[in-house]
Amino acid sequence: MSTILRSEPLAPECGVTVHDVQLAEAEGETLDAIRQAVFEHGVAVFRGQSLSPEQHIDLAKRWGGIDINNYFPLTDTHPEIAVVRKAAEQQTNIGGAWHTDHSYDQVPAMGSILVARTLPPKGGDTLFAHMGAAYDALDEDTKREIEDLEAFHTADHVYKEGGIYARTDIGGELRGQDLQTGATHPVVVRHPRTGRKLLYVNPSFTVTIVGRSREDSLPLLERLFAEARNPDHHARVVWEPGTVAIWDNRTTWHNALNDYQGHAREMHRITLTGEKLAA
């Protein structure tokens, strides 16, 4: 008999809060139920957790493979854990724009397990957008228009010299800035586990429709981005001490809000191995 989680929606179209689960102990049918909740809702939030770095890594290994992040600083003793931090004196945060992690990889990461370690007194919430809901809301003409299209994704413009991070006060902390990235994916993918159609483009890393110039790609991309930016498809994760969020990069965008100037924020992230995407 499959495990039924006690949960409640985080928002009408995106996200779920899961109760009565200690992630350090989750395995078997409970972990399967958590996976399904993440696949369907895009992001699952767990309160009252006390994951040590070792338990964080063990949870990710029970989930599946771990992708080592090529850019973020890593903890000294646990290279599986990427440090997503902003010091009190810094102005720019990491991830402060709508994006989907690792869409520039040939096999994008499945998602992430993010653990709150240091939080500001207020602010620093993370917004999520459900790409299944965004696709469903498109008009039928647009769905037909994008059905067989592919898009090219890259991170080079973000991390290279002159890119947004290189021009800010966090650029010096980032690793791998000489890497070259690039991958082509369908504009509409089917979730490999649920079969749901998902819009798979994002404004941070999707740069062109295959076969079109950047200039010719932008009108269509901006129409798709506009639907995904519709707040009807969004959920907000308000971080508290002991909060852990697990999200699916295929199903969601996310955006880390940078509204806590003068305060530090540090999160520990493990990225989960994904699988090749198909239309």
Say if residue 167's pLDDT is above 50: no
Residue 180 has a pLDDT of 74
For the chain, percent helix, then strand, then coil, each to nearest 5?
A: 25, 25, 50
Q: Answer whether residue 278 is part of any domain.
A: no
Say if residue 158's pLDDT is above 90: no
Total structural domains in the chain? 1
Say if residue 232's pLDDT is above 90: yes
The pLDDT mean for the chain works out to 92
CATH number at residue 138: 3.60.130.10
Domain that holds residue 146: 6-272
Q: Answer whether residue 48 is part of any domain.
A: yes
Q: Answer whether residue 241 is part of any domain.
A: yes
163: pLDDT confidence band, cut at 50, 70 and 90?
A: low
More confident residue, 164 or 269: 269
Say if residue 147's pLDDT is above 90: yes
Q: Answer whether residue 1 is part of any domain.
A: no
DSSP H/E element including 209: strand 206-209
**Percentage of the chain modeled with pLDDT above 70:** 90
Residue 1 has a pLDDT of 45
Q: Answer whether residue 277 is part of any domain.
A: no
Q: Answer whether residue 153 is part of any domain.
A: yes
Cα–Cα distances in angstroms (integers) from residue 53 to residues 67, 90, 239, 267, in the given order: 16, 25, 18, 12
DSSP H/E element including 227: helix 214-228
4: pLDDT confidence band, cut at 50, 70 and 90?
A: confident
Of 87-101, 102-116, 157-171, the range with the highest mean pLDDT is 102-116
71: pLDDT confidence band, cut at 50, 70 and 90?
A: low
- Predicted structure pTM score: 0.93
Q: Answer whether residue 279 is part of any domain.
A: no
- DSSP annotation string for 14-72: S-EEEES--GGG--HHHHHHHHHHHHHHSEEEE-S----HHHHHHHHHHHS-EEPPSSS
What is the mean predicted confidence (pLDDT) over 31-36?
Answer: 97
pLDDT digits (tens, 9 = 90+) for 103-136: 999 999 999 999 999 999 999 999 999 999 999 9
Residue 11 has a pLDDT of 98
What is the mean predicted confidence (pLDDT) over 228-236?
Answer: 98
CB-CB contact of 114 with 244 (8 Å): yes
Residue 75 has a pLDDT of 73
Q: Answer whether residue 239 is part of any domain.
A: yes
Say if residue 175's pLDDT is above 60: no
More confident residue, 68 or 179: 68
